A and B are shown apart, each in its own frame.
Chain A
Amino acid sequence: MAKSVLQEFTKGLWTEVPPYRLVLGLCPTLAMTKQVDMGFGMGIAVTFVLVCSNVLISLLRKVIPRNVRIACFIVVVATFVIVVELLMQAYTYELFLKMGIFIPLIVVNCIPLGRAEAFCYKNGVLRSFADGMGMGLGYTISLTVLAILREVFGNGTFFNQPISFLGPNFQPYAFMITAPGAFVFLGLMLCIMNMLGKK
């Protein structure tokens, strides 16, 4: 059953959203959602890498020999990751300092490589582009939502700005900022997604 291009796009937003449904790319999902700007920045960086590598790999899928495809995928993904790293250094240096090692680690993040192997090597450019956009946006939204929850309740701030709607008696729930807190919240999100998905 062939899916339409639009379906390839929307599947990344709900039915196959990377961190919750495919359960891929969890390392940055846990580490980069302490603050909203980090989560959002990570999502955008991954989206850029994903879209570029998806398009390029599907364009070159006839040229890449089967035996060395993984090596070629890694070269393509790594190239775009370094491009992102340089651009972030040049334009968003503070965010670059905060995210540190997690930008180069996008190379070994399973999402770009996984999409290349599972999708782009078999599908055309337009579909691969839609797939990359969908997956990237889905990933960005997931990370941003998790980061909003963790930053607002764990730190009492939003985009590093103090917020007041929680009232003056609000005590930051510091557990949410810790790594175990990230696991618990990831689990809760999965739980909610599964409950909604059943209907």
Chain B
Amino acid sequence: MREMLRLFVVVTLFGAVSGGLLAGVRAGTQERIEYQQIKFVKGPAILQIMKGCTNDPLTTRFKLKDGKEERSFFVGVFDGKPNIVAFEATGKGYGGNLDIMVAVNVDKDEIVGVGVTTHRETPGQGSRVQSDPKFTSQFKGQSIKEPFKVKTEGGKIDAVSGATVSSRGVTGAVVSSGEIYGRLKSEILEKMKSIKS
């Protein structure tokens, strides 16, 4: 019985110490890891849709609570005014979740650009929603509040041929980004006022 107890105590202690150590390392590296992920995963899309900004949108960022979720917002400065905000939204693609980055002009509530960040679509087929700029540029200049749909569903967005489901996924993600924007607009404006450049 004593021996059993000893085994139990030793293994428990090992687990506890290991858990504590890992929590410590994680806390210490979390911020850097987050920045690396932003830089390598979301960075290319952000810089592409914010072409021409005079600041570094990857570091000019803030977070807001949206219900239970926390969302990151990236601010772009154009002509000396920080009036473009980019954030992520999710849609359902063919192979799973499809994440997009949407940049919005907060003065006009207009979409400045849409870029796909992560997706699991079929390479060469659905993946073209990410690589074909013609498709995402259709959203440019449109109002963020519009309920976008692809043409086969009676909307006005031209789907990438052979990638209807993926195109619908991106379109749905843009619509959900409009909902996020509607919910958080006042808070976004509040935060952006404090960013002066």
Which residues of chain A have a CB within 8 Å of any CB of chain B? 63-65, 67-68, 71-72, 75-76, 78-79, 82-83, 86-87, 89-91, 93-94, 97
> In chain B between 1 and 31, which residues have their CB closer than 8 angstroms to a CB of chain A?
3, 6-7, 10-11, 14-15, 18, 21-22, 25-26, 29
Residues on B with C-beta less than 8 A from A78 are: 18
Q: How far is the CA of A76 from the CA of B13 in the complex (A)?
A: 11
Which residues of chain B have a CB within 8 Å of any CB of chain A? 3, 6-7, 10-11, 14-15, 18, 21-22, 25-26, 29, 32-33, 36-37, 39-40
Q: Tell me if B29 and A82 are in contact (CB < 8 A).
A: no
Q: Known: A79-B21, A86-B26. Is A68-B11 also a contact (CB below 8 A)?
A: yes
Q: Tell me if B14 and A86 are in contact (CB < 8 A).
A: no
Which 4 pairs show the lowest CB-CB distances between chains A and B? A93-B36, A90-B32, A90-B29, A79-B18
Q: Tell me if B21 and A83 are in contact (CB < 8 A).
A: yes
Q: How far is the CA of A89 from the CA of B28 in the complex (A)?
A: 12
Q: How far is the CA of A34 from the CA of B22 in the complex (A)?
A: 31
Q: Tell me if A97 and B33 are in contact (CB < 8 A).
A: no
Q: Most A CB atoms within 10 A — which of B14, B18, B29? A: B14
- What are 28 of the A-B contact pairs (CB < 8 Å)? A63-B10, A64-B10, A65-B10, A67-B7, A68-B11, A71-B11, A71-B14, A72-B10, A72-B11, A75-B14, A75-B18, A76-B14, A78-B18, A79-B21, A79-B22, A82-B22, A82-B25, A83-B21, A83-B25, A86-B22, A86-B29, A87-B25, A87-B29, A89-B33, A89-B37, A90-B32, A91-B32, A97-B40
Q: How far is the CA of A87 from the CA of B37 in the complex (A)?
A: 13
B16 to chain A, nearest CB (A): 10
A93 to chain B, nearest CB (A): 4
Q: Known: A75-B15, A83-B22, A90-B33. Is A65-B6 also a contact (CB below 8 A)?
A: yes
Q: Tell me if A86 and B25 are in contact (CB < 8 A).
A: yes
Q: Known: A75-B15, A83-B22, A90-B32. Is A68-B40 also a contact (CB below 8 A)?
A: no
Q: How far is the CA of A160 from the CA of B37 in the complex (A)?
A: 22
A75-B11, A90-B33 known; 5 new pairs, CB 8 Å cut-off, are A63-B10, A65-B7, A79-B22, A86-B26, A93-B37
Q: Most B CB atoms within 10 A — which of A64, A78, A90? A: A90
Q: How far is the CA of A155 from the CA of B7 in the complex (A)?
A: 52
Q: How far is the CA of A86 from the CA of B29 in the complex (A)?
A: 7
Residues on B with C-beta less than 8 A from A67 are: 7
Q: How far is the CA of A78 from the CA of B10 in the complex (A)?
A: 17
Closest-by-CB residue of B relative to A83 is B25
Q: How far is the CA of A8 from the CA of B22 in the complex (A)?
A: 31
Residues on B with C-beta less than 8 A from A83 are: 21-22, 25
Q: Tell me if B18 and A68 are in contact (CB < 8 A).
A: no
